[in-house]
């Protein structure tokens, strides 16, 4: 299983690094190079890039899924 996932939200330019083991999500900073730079170029042109991701859904807030965890 992947330990780190790079993600971004449609309509935003910021990339984030989600560390699944640490349970943290932080903005990607610095000057990207290599595959990360290519990813940024592709997404800026409107491409949706996925690799090694089984499912991903963007929501407005965590309350959208909270009811799933606390069903009666």
| 25-45 residue pLDDT tens | 999 999 889 998 998 899 888
DSSP structure class, residue 10? T
Give the residue carrying structure tokens 């009811």: 67
Looking at the predicted structure, is the pLDDT value of residue 23 above 90?
A: yes
Query: For residue 20, what are the domain limits?
Result: 4-69
Helices (H) and strands (E) counted in the chain, each on its own, are: 2, 3
d(C-alpha 46, C-alpha 59), whole Å: 19
With beta carbons less than 8 A apart as the criterion, state whether 50 and 42 touch: no
Quote the tokens at residue 40: 């940024």
Looking at the predicted structure, is the pLDDT value of residue 72 above 70?
A: no
pTM, entire model: 0.73
d(C-alpha 72, C-alpha 70), whole Å: 6
Domain count, the chain: 1
């Amino acid at each position: 299983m992947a330990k780190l996932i790079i993600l971004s939200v449609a309509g935003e330019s910021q990339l984030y690094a989600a560390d699944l083991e640490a349970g943290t999500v932080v903005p990607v900073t610095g000057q990207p190079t290599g595959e990360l730079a290519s990813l940024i170029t592709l997404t800026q042109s409107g491409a949706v890039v996925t690799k090694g991701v089984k499912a991903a859904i963007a929501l407005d807030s965590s309350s959208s899924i909270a009811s799933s965890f606390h069903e009666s």
